[in-house]
Each structure stands twice: as structure tokens, then as C-alpha cells.
Amino acid sequence: MNDPARLKVLEAELATIAAEPYYEPVGEEIPLFEAAYSARVPVLLKGPTGCGKTRFVEHMAWRLARPLVTVSCHDDLTASDLVGRYLIVGDETVWVDGPLARAVRAGGFCYLDEIVEARKDTTVVIHPLADTRRCLPMEKRGELLRAPDEFMLILSYNPGYQSVLKELKHSTRQRFVAIEFAYPSADLEARIVVRESGLDRATAERLVKLGGMTRNLKGSGLDEGASTRLLVHAAQLMVRGVPPRTACHGAVAEALTDDREMLVALDELVGAVF
Amino acid sequence: MTVAQPLSAGELEEELEHGVRLTELARVLELVLRGLSARALRVEAGPETYTDTETIFLPESIDAAPERAANERLYKALAVHHWAQTRYGTFNADLDDVLEGFASRERGLAWINLLEAVRLEACLRRGYPGLARLLASLRPRLPEALVDAERELARPRASVGDSIRLARELAVMEPPAAFPYLGSLHPDRVKTVREARVAKERRALYRELAKIREGLAVEGAGEVERKPAPAVEVDASFDTLQFKLEVEGERVEPPPAVAALVRSIVQDFGAVPPEYLVAAGPGRYAPDAEPTDEPEGARAESHAEGGTLYDEWDFQRRDYRKDWCVAFESDVPRGDPAFVAGVRAQYAGQIAQLRRRFEALRGEEKLLRREHEGDDLDFDAVVEAYADRRTGMEVTERLFTLRRRAERNIAAMFMVDMSGSTMGWVNECERTALVMLCEALEALGDRYAIYGFSGWGRKRCEIYRIKRFDERYSDAVRGRIAGVQAKDYTRMGVAIRHLSKLLNEVEAKTRILFTLSDGKPDDFIDGYRGVYGIEDTRQALIEARASGVHPFCITIDEEARDYLPHMYGAASWALIDDVRKLPLKAADAYRRLTS
């Protein structure tokens, strides 16, 4: 913890994106986001895993030329993980800003991925940032950080989880402009797979078809169908010479389930298109 | 409905050394078919192999080849071929009518069946090459006489009409031997099933589109004058089942319910027939029986002795009917004590597995920070203490972390449908589900209660006690579970209100109202049917949610997809297509709901 090198690494997390991250808009999400940014309203991205939420945020950060810090939330993530904490360096205590505080200071984007996973006390910290106050109270330092106009808070969450313990409270969600992400249309999804992997278009179309079939199984034994990300993974394996069935078994079937019968069924579906 | 009795291992081996039983493959086949077509096809054993477009009947076992793998392939081919009939429109012509024109009905049917198989294989070659290879590998080469017909049927635009035309030409000859995966065609049985589905889906689509229209209409002004409902257009492709939905010329992202309906309708008609899209008034469900209006004075008080009064929501007046229903609580009479023991014995394996899974939930450990004592130093606390000391503030002694089992603090109310429609298998499965839930919850340690509900009109809403929160899972409770019976009607709103009240009396952080049901709210007496019942139930659920209860419903009603999302909201319900899966699914749903 008291390694100065580590502190440097932490600071480097807040990165400006140099090259344009590839992103295909599915609907009106880009103008909507831009409008929210100019109105200084935070944004909530909803949608299943692997449908492009994180990529979208990267793309928007590049587009609006703001530095971006991404925090993947987990169930032990606390408010101090976001705001910052004192560390011991030698016999001294040094304050280190958390990612959220750094994004506020720098006027960057702070993207909290899968916010429902985080501990409940984190939402208390983001509330004052997410309304007209736009400030971050840092209790331990007795400091109140005011967010510059360029700062933007972005949350994502997956409404598909049925657990009542993982619902977003209304006091939180009603502070945000919400943008829903769905799987792209077949044509667009094939284009994305081609672009991301270099696979030929015809094979990519078959992969997308497979993706659609797995999504038909959502609720009948699968919690989620194959995301675009999984399809891209399969495509990347194929481009490297892995036979399609093997690639899909590893990148799609096994990634989706451990259920023996479901695996057999998924392999059958793979066999149907390849 | 019957369930095949599992054979003992010895019997099975003796009978089928290399053969395959349908029970071993049924789930995989059903999953594959659901994945392929986006609509559920059941797979069941039957004396004849055919499909009625919702169920595929297959032989109970196949022992045609000396190797197991070959027998499995044949099962797959049978399932795929019959699925392809429903997917690529074999039944989109009225075959019963068509056969009138043939000299021999039987021969005509055999030819159509064979030519369709040729056409379907070609369809599969375009969309699912792997499946086409499977079918091709199992059939003999086509005779010379059919080469032209094959070429014609392989055209992308070929339809069942082409097969019929060719069958007429070829019917002078005896048809060649049937392919091994060719079942029979039963146009009459298809007709009944298909017509029922078509009517149901038409109504459902109508309702869904009305909702979309309403959503758009609301955005408009004061609503005093009824604007004409906006035009809806669906542009769907039969080949890919992809479609675009346009309302008033604007592209609309279809809700999942609409997407599923459109895909199913396109499979039946090749497109969405234009008359499906004709506008009804905004926001109208398909006309159902409307509730009969009773005079407002006819409140239930005079009958309320010993009961509790509840309001009921009248969606037409957009207001409550005051003290409209009376709920009476009573114990379920004890049933056969052997029932629970029987379930425990029969499902011993699954129960053990459930218990293990549930125990794993309970065993979740949590790291408590800033404790006075504990196993480890809490580094954050130490750092803070340092900082505090430096700044001259009071230094805390809470410097330890402690691992402890997380307290779940969940109370669950199980609400069991005891209406007349649950008679027979559903009731049996509900009781089995209750036993398994109890076993699992005992392992978990959550507080739970079980109540049944049924009723006969608003003045006799019966709530049956099976297990109170403060009761142990005792012999008495087990007896009452066995005694759960199908009674009268399903007046759900009052049951939800009463049981939410009981649930809210329990001290807990999370409260769950878990409903097991076989259908929508329905009380024949005083008009608690259709929209009225659904809307009151919805209102009761909204009240429950507002009071801090999380409602969840698990149901086996096929039509539930139409109204459950409206009642429960998109994420708080589960649909089971097969009543036999209820016991395991219920426990599984509960586990997922609370983890």
C-alpha cells in the first residue's frame, strides 16, 4: 500500500483516449448522451452484459475529449474506495484521491460499471454529484469538491438480474437520464463482429444467427443469451485458425452455462449453423 | 397428463442395450428447438410420430441401429424435421381441403409428406447447413423421377403450394419408400391447435399494439378529442424472422412480448396479416366479460363477521370500491401424512441437492470492519487512527476486522393458488413444490409462512393457513401441506392485500411475497374476470410494493406472457411451460431472488 509506484499507477488510471474507440450506434444514444453532457445531467446505461455499454462510454469520452476513469463495482467496493483514503507512507499519512475524486478534480468522466454490485454506502456519495449540487463531500478531509462543468458521472446496470437485493433504488435512478442498450440488429451485429475480429462477413452472419438462437433460450435455462462480446471472442478464435465448432463451444457454449444438457443443446445449435 | 415411470436400471439395460429413451433426450431436444425457432415446441412420447405444431410426438424409445449415437441422431432428425414443418410453413395450407382433390387421400398425403421433406431440407440448407446435412445423411438417394421436382422445390421461393402441385402431378405413381425420419401428417389435429393459437395470438398482438398506441397517444395533448389511432406497420422477413415495427412512420423498438408474437405469427402466415394491425380504440384490451356492476351500497360489511374487510380496485372508475371484499382465515384440514414422506423419498436426491445449494447461501461470510476485536487488523481503521492522532483528534479503538456469516434477514410469504383449476396435476405439483421449498428453506434459515387462497365471490374470500411465520415445519404443517386442495375461484387482489399485511407485521429487512399460481385472477361471481381481475391484482401488487414487499410470481399459465408483465412488471415473474418442473423451478427461483 505504501509503495510510491502504486500511487503513480493509480493516478494513471484517469486516461485520455487517443485513438477513436470503434462504436456503432444502435439508436439515438450518441445525440442523447451529448445533450445530457451539455446539460450536465448524469447518465445511466441499462442493458445486458457485453452489448457495448463500456465501449460506448469510451467512445463518448474520446468524442468529447474528456479523460475517463472506469470503476468496475464489486460487492466490497466502499465509498472510500471511490472518494479516497489516507495511506501510511513512512510514518506519515498521505491522502490519495479515489477514482471518483480524481475524475471530479480533472473534469473527466467517471464511469461506475455495474453499480448495483457496490455497497449501499457508495450511492450516498454519488447522490450529491448526481443532482444540481454537483459536489463531492470528502468527509475525511473536511473538503467539498465542486465538480467543473466538464465532469460527468455515468452508471451502468443490468436490469436482467432478478435478485431483489440488486435493484437500483429510485432515489438513485431518478437522478439520471437513462439510455437502454439492446443487442444490435443482425446486420449491424455482423458488421461489428467483422470489424472487431477480421472474420469474413458470411461466417460472421452465421455467428450472429447462433447468437440469436442462444438469446431465444433466455429464461429457459440460460440467464442471458450470448452477448455481442462473446460472438466477437468466437470470431477472434476462428480468425486464428480454430475450427468454428471448437471456437463456438469454448467462446459461446461453455461461457454461457455449466448445465450439461444445456451444453449439449448449445453444441447442437452450433452444429446447425456451421 | 401422465409421467412415464422411470424404469429401474436393470430393466432399462435389458430392454435397450444401444437404444435411446426419449426421456434421456427430451430436454436437450426442447432446448434446441426453442433456440432454433424462438417459440416453444414441446417434445412428448406418443404412439405416432407427428406434430400438431405445438407438440412434437416422438417414439418413446429408438433402438433402430446397433450404436447409441446413431439412435440419437435419428431422434434429432425426427425432431428437426418436424420442427422444420412448423417453421417453414407445411401447415400454412389447409391440407385437409387439399386432399379432397386427390383420388386416394392416403397416397396424396404420402406424396405431400415426402415432397415437403425435400423442400424443407432445401430450406434448412440455406439457413442451417448442419441440420440439412443431418437429414440428408439419413435418407436414401431420391429416385430419378424426382430430380426435376427436387430442383423446383429447392428454389428459395418454393412453398407448400409447390409441394401440393407436384404431389398432384406425381400421384399417379406409388410414392417411394418414406425417409426414416418422416413421421405422419395429421392435418385435422394441426387445424384445431393452429386455429386456437392463431386466435390467441391475434388477440394478444392486438392488446400489445393497443398499449404501444396508447403510449404514443398519451404524449399528445389533452385527450379530450379522440385522435385516430396511429397506423402500425410490420415489415417481417419469413426467412430470418427479423422485422421492423413502425408506428406512424416511426421506427419503434418492439417490446419482447411483441417480438415473440410477431415471430410466431410470421411462422404461421409468412407475414403479419394486415387485418391484425387494424387500430382499435386506444388502450383497449380485447373485449372480455366486463364486470357486472353492483350498486355501491352493497358493501360487504353485513357479511364480515369474523372476516377482514378489504378495498378492491375498479379500473373503470379508477377508484377503490370501499370495503368490498371479506377475507376469512382458516386452517387447511390435515391431509394424508404419507404424502410428504412420499415426496421426500421420491425426490431425495433433488432435495439433498437443494439443501446443499441453499446452505451455501447461508454460509456466505462477510467481513465486518471496525470491530473492537477480530481476526485481523483493519488497515483502513489503523490508517484513520494514525491520521486522527496526527490531527489531534480522538483515536478510535475499533481497529479490527471480523469474519461473520451474513445475516440474511429475509421473510418470505408463499401464496398458493388453491382455485378449482389447480385440480389434479397442478395441485399435486404445488404440494410437491411446497415440500421442497420447506426443506430448502429449513436449510437456509429464512423465516417463511405459507398460505393458500381461493374463494367464491367477494363476500367469501378464503385464506387458508398452512404455516404461520411463528410456526415450525412440524408434522402439523406437513399434514396441512398434504391437505392442500383445489377449491373454488381465484380472487387474487384480496389475497395479496391480506398476505402483504401479515408479511409486513414481520420484522425483516427484505420481504418477499412469492405466488405459485396456475392462471390469471378469475372469480366467476360478481365479474372478477378478464381486465377487471387483472387490474385489481395489479393494483394490489402496486400497494404491496409501496409497503415494502417484493412480489414475485411463478406460474404455469401458457397465456401468462400476455398479462404477467403488466401485473408484475417485467422482471418479477417466471413462467413454467411444464407443470412437472414447478417444484424444482420454484425453489430455484427463490434462491435466485434472494442471492
CA–CA separation, B92 vs B75, rounded Å?
A: 25
pLDDT band at B492 (very low <50, low <70, confident <90, very high): confident
**Average model confidence (pLDDT) across chain A:** 87
**pLDDT band at residue B286 under the 50/70/90 scheme:** very low
Per the prediction, chain B carries an average pLDDT of 80
Cell of B540: 394490489
Which tops the pLDDT comparison, B408 or A198?
A: A198
Q: Are B334 and B480 in contact (CB under 8 A)?
A: yes
Give the gap in angstroms from C-alpha A206 to the nearest C-alpha of chain B.
Answer: 9
What's the whole-number mean pLDDT along residues B533-553?
85
What does the pLDDT read at residue B15? 56
What pLDDT score was predicted for residue A172? 87
pLDDT at A51 > cutoff 60: yes
Overall average pLDDT of the A219-226 stretch? 82
Q: How much of chain B, in percent, has pLDDT values that exceed 70?
A: 86
Top-ranked range on mean pLDDT: pick from A3-17, B211-225, B294-308, B315-329: B315-329
pLDDT of B310 above 60: yes
- Residue A213 to residue B35, Cβ atoms within 8 A: yes
When pLDDT is averaged across residues B422-439 and rounded to a whole number, the result is 82
The verdict on a CB contact (< 8 Å) between A85 and B383 is: yes
In which band, very low, low, confident or very high, does the pLDDT at A244 lie, cut at 50, 70 and 90?
very high
Average pLDDT score over residue span B52-71: 91
The stretch A185-212 carries a mean pLDDT of: 94
Cβ contact B556:B564 at 8 Å: no
- B35/A273 touch (CB, cutoff 8 Å), yes or no: no
Average pLDDT over residues B242-247: 80
- Please, what is the Cα angle at B152 between B150 and B157, to 5 degrees? 125
Rounded mean pLDDT, B162-188: 91
Q: For an interface test with B, give the residue of A80, A86, A89, A205 to mutate (most B CBs within 10 A).
A: A86
Provide the pLDDT for residue A61.
94
Residue whose entry in the numeric block shows the C-alpha cell 418479477: B572
pLDDT reading at A16 higher than 60: yes
pLDDT in tens, A140-177: 788 899 999 999 999 998 876 656 666 788 888 899 99
Least confidently predicted of A223-237, B332-346, B557-571: B557-571
Q: Which residue among A140, A185, A216 sits closest to B35, beta carbon to beta carbon?
A: A216
Model confidence at A23: pLDDT above 90: yes
* B308 vs B499: CA distance, rounded Å: 12
% of chain B beyond a pLDDT of 90:
18
Instruction: State the complex-level ipTM.
Output: 0.79
* pLDDT at B16 (0 to 100): 61
Minimal CA separation from A140 to chain B, in Å: 9
The predicted-structure confidence for A69-84, as pLDDT tens digits, reads as follows 999 888 767 787 888 8
Domain boundary assignment for chain B: 9-87, 90-185, 198-277, 301-325, 338-360+409-593, 365-405
Q: Is there a contact between B418 and B518 (Cβ–Cβ < 8 Å)?
A: no
Decide if pLDDT at A110 tops 60: yes
Which residue of A165, A166, A180, A267 is the best one to mutate when testing the B interface, meaning the one whose CB has the most B CBs within 10 A? A165
Over residues A54-62, the mean pLDDT reads 94
- Contacts of residue B313, Cβ cutoff 8 Å, sequence gap at least 6: B319, B320, B321, B493, B535, B536, B538, B539, B540
CATH number of B338-360+409-593: 3.40.50.410
Chain A environment of B399 (Cβ under 8 Å): none
Q: pTM to 2 decimals? A: 0.67
Mean pLDDT within B119-126: 94
Give residue A162's pLDDT. 56
Among the partner residues A93, A160, A186, nearest to B390 by beta-carbon distance: A93
* Minimum mean pLDDT range among A74-83, B175-184, B193-202, B522-531: B522-531
Among candidate residues B67, B75, B70, the one with its CA nearest the CA of residue B22: B75
Residues 6+ apart with CB under 8 A from B580: B1, B3, B425, B429
Res B289 pLDDT > 60: no
Q: What is the mean pLDDT of the segment spanning A231-256?
A: 96
Residue A186 sits at the chain B interface (C-beta within 8 Å) = yes
| Better-predicted residue by pLDDT, B566 or B376 | B566
More confident residue, A75 or B453: B453
State how far the alpha carbon of A61 is from the alpha carbons of A22, A56, A108, A152, B131, in Å.
Answer: 12, 9, 8, 10, 45
- Of B128, B552, B594, which has the smallest distance from its Cβ to A272's Cβ? B128
Q: Which residue has the cell 425426427?
A: B78
pLDDT at A2 over 50: no
CA distance A197 to chain B (A): 23
**What is the Cα B499 distance to its own chain's centre?**
24
Distance from CA of B306 to the nearest CA of A (A): 35
Residue type, B369: R
What integer pLDDT is reported at residue B50 of this predicted model?
Answer: 94
A106-115, B177-186, B250-259: which range is least confident on average? B250-259
Taking the CA atoms of B518, B522, B523 and B524 in sequence, report the sign of the dihedral they define.
negative
Which strands make up the sheet holding B50-51, listed edge to edge?
B42-45, B55-58, B50-51
Q: Indicate if the alpha-carbon torsion angle A226, A272, A264, B241 is positive or negative.
A: positive
- Would you say B582 and B429 are in contact if contact means Cβ atoms under 8 Å apart? yes
Crossing angle of helices B22-37 and A201-216, in 10° steps, is 120
* pLDDT confidence tier of residue A209, bands split at 50, 70 and 90: very high
B87 touches B36 (CB < 8 A): yes
pLDDT at A7 over 50: no
Q: Name which of B20-29, B147-156, B280-289 the model is least confident about.
A: B280-289
Task: Work out the angle at residue A25's Cα, subtended by the Cα atoms of residues A20 and A28, and round it to the nearest 5 degrees.
Answer: 125
> Are B594 and A165 in contact (CB < 8 Å)?
yes
CA distance A220 to chain B (A): 8
